[in-house]
Amino acid sequence: MREQKKRRLTAKGWKTDGAKEFLGLTLEEESYIDLRQRLADGLRHRRIRHKLTQAALARAVRSSQSRIAKMEAGDASVTLDLLVRSLLVLGASPADLARIISRRRSW
């Protein structure tokens, strides 16, 4: 959030803490959510880099386009197993997975 907007909201009585504070997440819960989102972002970037549609990736992993959309959105109903398997289908190596997991988030 832009600093100016944050100051304006705070002046009007709004709290501008992050999701961790708002939801009362533990460090472990926050780390798990971050891991899931990093894998989801990595999947989307790798799919786009391979010039595949969500439907084409769905066929490759024997799933549905809507499931791929949920995977890329970091939906909680998607297992980490499916995220990792989908990345492997796109040719990700263990080193690639490590890079995805260790990359800083841009949000």
Question: What percent of the chain stands above pLDDT 90?
Answer: 62
Confidence of residue 9 (pLDDT cuts 50, 70, 90): confident
Q: Are 69 and 47 in contact (CB under 8 A)?
A: no
Q: Which pLDDT belongs to residue 99?
A: 94
Tell me the two tokens of residue 33: 């959510």
Supply the CATH number for residue 32's domain: 1.10.260.40
Q: Which pLDDT belongs to residue 54?
A: 97
Q: Which pLDDT belongs to residue 91?
A: 96
Q: pLDDT tens digit string along 37-83?
A: 999 999 999 999 999 999 999 999 999 999 999 999 999 999 999 99
Tally of domains within the chain: 1
Residue 8 resides in a domain = no
Residue 66 belongs to domain spanning: 25-102
Residue 6 resides in a domain = no
Backbone angles phi, psi at 82, to 5 degrees: -65, -40
Confidence of residue 19 (pLDDT cuts 50, 70, 90): low
